[in-house]
Amino acid sequence: MPELPEVETIRGHLAPHVEGRVLEGVEVLDERWSRPLAPAELEAAIQGRRVETLGRRGKYLVWELEDDVFLLMHLRMTGTLLLDPDPPSKHVRVRFDLGDHQLVFDDPRRFGTGELALGPEALAAFFDARLGVEPLERLFTAEHLHALAKTSRAPVKAFLLDQKRVAGVGNIYADEALFRAKVHPLRPANTLTRAQCAAIRDGVVDALMLGLESKGATIDDFRDPYGVSGTFQDKMLVHTREGESCPNCGNTVRKLRVAGRGTYVCERCQRRPRAARV
């Protein structure tokens, strides 16, 4: 699933091509994409409106349209936005006509979504119910993370994946952050010390920043709007490195299952909590 760096990469590439332009045509080809709205309802709400700003919140792309209409787009597992694709995409779920550009939402597994928020209050309510702090903003401090962690008995890996606590961090960047922090993914969040929370905070920021510099990670499906893959996968320290040597100590990287997700760890650098079992 595209995470914060991948979504921000898409936003950065698309913004110059969509901001200030009018959505001259919108065609929702897959009714699942717009649920609970019918395709015709969503098309009518946004077609003909000017795109004021293309933003991001967590893993959502936020299309701010004129008259305070917001299209909230989530890529989910395999969704991506492609600008003037050549050859044409094979799994187009939505088409946007921007006049001099054609933009398509391509999604082989059909998990991506588009939702509407009408007005700033509805937008705030939508995100308040779904997302926590942005990890690249000043509010994401070690103290804030420690206060959140004290309220959760979940493994720290699951805690970081909970979008209501930290927005935008997914499986890849959680593994990379915990390795940098030398914290085992099975450690209960409420047992983390202040020093460990500070290390995790720094690990999250460092991993995300490297992901942004690398234009995201392409392990399966991620591409930017021009169809180009990211390069963070070439810089990952443990994620997908099962059986390889830890870059810090030489121990073998192991793959575990945490919170239902494949999780990569060096159990010499990241000491397993005593009660943890896999």
Tell me whether residue 91 is annotated as binding.
Answer: yes
Catalytic residue selected from 56, 59, 93, 180: 59
List the structure tokens of 2.
């595209």
CA distance 14 to 94: 16
Known catalytic residue at 274? no
CA distance 15 to 17: 5
Q: Do 49 and 62 meet the contact criterion of CB atoms below 8 Å apart? A: no
Known catalytic residue at 261? yes
Tell me whether residue 35 is annotated as binding.
Answer: no
CA distance 144 to 136: 13
CA distance 266 to 17: 43
Catalytic residue selected from 110, 182, 255, 261: 261
Residue 1's closest CA among 57, 54, 74?
Answer: 74
Known catalytic residue at 3? yes
CA distance 4 to 12: 12
Residue 93's closest CA among 116, 75, 68?
Answer: 75
> HSE of 189 in the Cβ direction (CA atoms, 13 Å)?
21
List the structure tokens of 181.
């922090």
Binding site as annotated, residues:
91, 109
Binding site as annotated, residues for DNA:
91, 109
Q: Active-site positions?
A: 2-3, 59, 261
